[in-house]
Structure 1
């Protein structure tokens, strides 16, 4: 990658670390939910995920609301603890507008591609 960029390996590493630090500084953390973090999704938008798993919050919310899975079923399906599932659902309760908008946008995209 450094060669493709036309820079030395040293400068490539320095640039990558600087980019990562800048990204970390831009995240929209909610300090009340330290187990939830944000990553850049395929669209370039920040997406809330369960820390350490990259499992999107909206995936758990869809499993709970649309598929009517219990926290225990969700935990089993995604190899999580019930505590993790409940943390995600609590985050959703506070950030439901953000999550619902993301789910709605994804439905529109899916409908357009069918």
Structure 2
């Protein structure tokens, strides 16, 4: 399981249980987004129709995304982003489900009871 490195800014700034939970969620989200591991990746018909090469370019751009701000990531969870691909606006979102994938997870910070799903879609499909 990914962790904040010992002595890192993320670790040293975590003072409350809520901050520690957020850091854990963000770390797990970044792990899925950057490596494709630790969850599932779902694409919409619109993204699929762009072709395999486009998908790989979009996935790479999502993995490399680092421009999280208070405007586009107000909760600090790194669970949503947008990017431009050619003339298209792409959205991506990470959601948290229980192990049966029927309901939202009761604890997204706990990877033992949570399945993360990274959905990639065209903005026009939202």
In terms of fraction of residues, the more strand-rich structure is: 2
- Name which structure has the greater RCO, CA cutoff 8 Å, separation 6+: 2
TM-score under structure 2 normalisation?
Answer: 0.23
Larger radius of gyration: 1
TM-score under structure 1 normalisation?
Answer: 0.25
In terms of fraction of residues, the more helix-rich structure is: 1
